[in-house]
Amino acid sequence: MSLDQLIYEKIPSLSAGQRKVAEYILNNKDEFSYATLAKLSKDISVSETTVIRFAYSLGFDSFSAMQQKLREEILSVPQRNVEGQIQNQTFYQKVFSREMQALQDWISHIDEELLDKTVEALLNADHILVTGARSSYHAANWFGNRLNLLLGNTHIIQEFYDPRFDLLNHITDKTVVISIAFARYTKWTYRYADSAKKMGATLVSITDSVSSPFFNISDYTILAAPLKDSMGFSSPICMYCLFDAIISKIHDERKDMIVERLKQYEDTYRDFDMYYE
């Protein structure tokens, strides 16, 4: 099991300080692998004891053993000099190259077993609710529409225009709620997800950090950390790649049913003369 997988497995049981260590490792592997305890304590703003206890919580005998594990994982991944490659590129090519590199880094650490469990939960669901507020709503709307197109049992929940609190009264253990939440994590999305979880729903959260409050309540938590540009805005490239992967896997698992379903949609569109083409 990789260090990333160990961290994700232990997140619910970690203290707030230990979660800060976990987040630092996930975002700064090279720096963490060779830094001293004193430097890490200063950089992460936790005590040296917290870093050591974090290593113990993952099952390592010592902090050094955890560092060695991380070094071995880093060395096993082919390294690429991305900055050198993009020096002579145009402005737009540089932006695209950095996004591609961020996507590749994210892919190299994705937990495919977690994705399979998420897809299985969606395929077995009687009802799917997709929630996302404010800047996350456009993502919830896109993903929810695709799921509904393929599976037909999906509602998109919107904080202001369509909160659908009534659907909470119909939740069963066959309901899957997908919460899409990125910092600063709206309280509305959390409360809706928490209520659904307490009523027996399976909760899938797509978020950006191990410090996200959704880690504490979710059955499956998938990290799709956004890439920050020079202005501090987030690129959703990893998130939409994740959506595409889940949608593609669902299509692969239920190909015949979905092909027939999409054909019925096309027939309906034709009957209503909806499109020019």
Contact call for residues 74 and 33 (beta carbons, < 8 A): yes
Helix (H, G, I), strand (E, B) or coil at 111: coil
Cross-sheet strand order for the sheet of 127-131? 154-157, 127-131, 175-180, 202-207, 220-223
Q: Which CATH superfamily is domain 112-266 in?
A: Glucose-6-phosphate isomerase like protein; domain 1 (3.40.50.10490)
CA atoms within 13 A on the CB side of 132: 22
Residue of higher predicted confidence among 122 and 13: 122
- Whether residue 11 has pLDDT greater than 60: yes
If one counts every other C-beta atom within 10 angstroms of the C-beta of residue 138, the result is 12
Return the pLDDT at 83.
54
* Domain 3-76 = CATH 1.10.10.10: yes
Choose the weakest-confidence range: 191-205, 211-225, 248-262: 211-225
Return the pLDDT at 167.
87
Distance of CA 68 to the CA centre of its chain: 27
Domain boundaries, the chain: 3-76, 112-266
Return the pLDDT at 58.
95
pTM equals: 0.82
- In whole angstroms, what is the distance from residue 239 CA to residue 48 CA? 34
- Whether residue 184 has pLDDT greater than 80: yes
